[in-house]
Chains A and B, each alone.
Chain A
Amino acid sequence: MTTNDVLIKVDGLEKSFNGVEVLKGIDMEIDKGDVVVIVGASGSGKSTFLRCLNLLEEPTGGTILFEGTDITDPKVNINLHRQKMGMVFQQFNLFPHMTVLRNLTLGPTKLLKQSKKDAEKNAIRLLETVGLADRADSYPSQLSGGQKQRVAIVRALAMNPDVLLFDEPTSALDPEMVGEVLEVMKKLAEDGMTMAVVTHEMGFAREVGTKVVFIDDGKIAEENTPDEFFNNPQNPRLKDFLSKVI
């Protein structure tokens, strides 16, 4: 791959909370079209790492180059870059006081200056791709967990982002709803969307991931193709982890 294809380049990323080091120097490259799956035990720092990528957590050290710009530089207007980095949360975080349609059009109309008509047309089209076009006028409280998360995904997509960050998107779902969300994510990956996914779904990592990363104690302990990662793990902590989750 040429350097032109690098979307995100993380160098020596550090984060501490009140003196407690959570991330201890992480380097990573995410190329266009990559589906990077990040796994690890709880408390290992994998969610913190993901949340640092769009600066929801402010890193205490290191740099993050996103499309060539160091977004950790305080002079950079992070809001503009966040428009290009969609995020999907464990708790969905839909706006409860707005209809599904308004959830999807708020960003595009206010930030991308799309007309209401265009934004709604696009929103309906996106809802159709996840089979929820008939719920456009519902409020989030009227949806199931799986439906909420699918809406949350298309809310991020409506901003036409260059990368999607998933923070344990299926962890708050009832087991029978995990599949419908993973299906949507898989389809996105097949369409070439660049994704960084923190998850416990090893099946998804193996099937959809282009690269799997094991974070342990704030550092990357192993990084490999799914095949090698699952069939031939090197790091003893990873071997231990895999034996517990698979």
Chain B
Amino acid sequence: MKDFFSGLTDSFVKTFITEDRWLMLLQGLATTLEITFFALLLGLLLGFFVAVVRSTYDINNKGRKCRRLSDYVIKVLNVICNIYITVIRGTPVVVQLMIMYFIVFLTSRNGTLAAILSFGINSGAYVAEIVRSGIMSIDKGQFEASRSLGFDYKSTMIFVILPQALKNVLPALANEFIVLLKETSVAGYVAIQDLTYMGNLIRSRTWEAFFPLITVAVIYLAIVLILSYFFKKLERRLRNSDH
């Protein structure tokens, strides 16, 4: 029993204290959070844009002849968005990351930026489908009521449709963010020193697997719990109007 505890202490010290290894984990965490945060922003931006393009096409243009220039623009954009979603959803994110790092970023080798772009572009495709499903779930009568007041399509989207759509898809979006956070753990494939990579590095140096890996897992779990808490709060606030 005494041996067990002294062994545990020994392994704890090796994992965290020796060579200030806890700093490595902290650095890894910072990288993970950085990649996740900017990828999330990029994903939201891309996702919203693609969702609005696709649903605008579905609502206004599907099966109709192009009459104005804007009709052609939206048609072309819709085709591009469809290809984007198909390709991104049809290939593994690790492969996308490696293509970004080893082909697109061949000369610069800026790993973090490559990761942000890869995960952002990847997340955007999923966010797009989530937001689009939200837009399409809004009753047609809401469009008509807004248009009959004299709002154009854009204002109708901004004031009437998107606020309702967002509220409806908030749980799905929260889920996507959690998935994104955890997906960044494959960044080590292209030598980015994120949280998972650092944990594994400590394991390989100390030959101690338990503490580094469990710690990494607990940190991910903690971030997810914090994220979930804030999303629940936001959901509750937005639910004000349903009584």
Contacts and interface: CB of A to CB of B under 8 A. Distances in A.
B150 A56 contact: no
A226 B67 CA distance: 43
Interface stretch (A61-69, A75-83, A213-221, A237-245): A75-83
B92 interface: no
B149 A107 contact: yes
Contacts of A155: 149
Chain A CB within 10 Å, residue with most, of B142, B148, B159: B148
Interface in A66-95: 74, 79-83, 85-87, 89, 91, 93-95
B59 interface: no
B7 interface: no
B241 A89 contact: no
B152 interface: yes
Interface string A140-160: 111000000000100110010
Interface residues of A, number: 32
Contacts of A91: 139, 141
A117 interface: no
B150 A96 contact: no
B148 A141 contact: no
B148 A97 contact: no
B242 interface: yes
A106 interface: yes
Interface residues of B, number: 24
Contact of B241 (A74, A93, A96, A152): A96
A219 to B, nearest CB: 25
A110 B243 contact: no
B20 interface: no
B240 interface: yes
B240 to A, nearest CB: 7
Given A80-B150, A82-B149, A141-B243, A93 B159 contact: no
A87 B149 CA distance: 8
A107 B141 contact: no
A111 B141 contact: no
Contacts of B141: 89, 91, 93
A41 interface: no
A106 B163 contact: no
A83 B149 contact: yes
B144 A89 contact: yes
Given A95-B160, A97-B167, A142-B243, A56 B144 contact: yes
A54 interface: yes
A142 B163 CA distance: 19
A204 interface: no
B151 interface: yes
A139 B145 contact: no
Pairs of residues from A and B, 4 with the lowest C-beta to C-beta distance, nearest first: A83-B150, A93-B145, A87-B148, A93-B141
28 contacts: A74-B68, A79-B152, A80-B150, A81-B150, A82-B149, A83-B149, A85-B148, A89-B144, A93-B139, A93-B144, A94-B145, A95-B142, A95-B164, A97-B164, A98-B241, A106-B159, A107-B149, A110-B151, A111-B150, A111-B151, A139-B240, A141-B241, A141-B242, A141-B243, A142-B243, A152-B145, A155-B149, A165-B148
Interface of A: 54, 56, 74, 79-83, 85-87, 89, 91, 93-98, 106-107, 110-111, 139-142, 152, 155-156, 159, 165
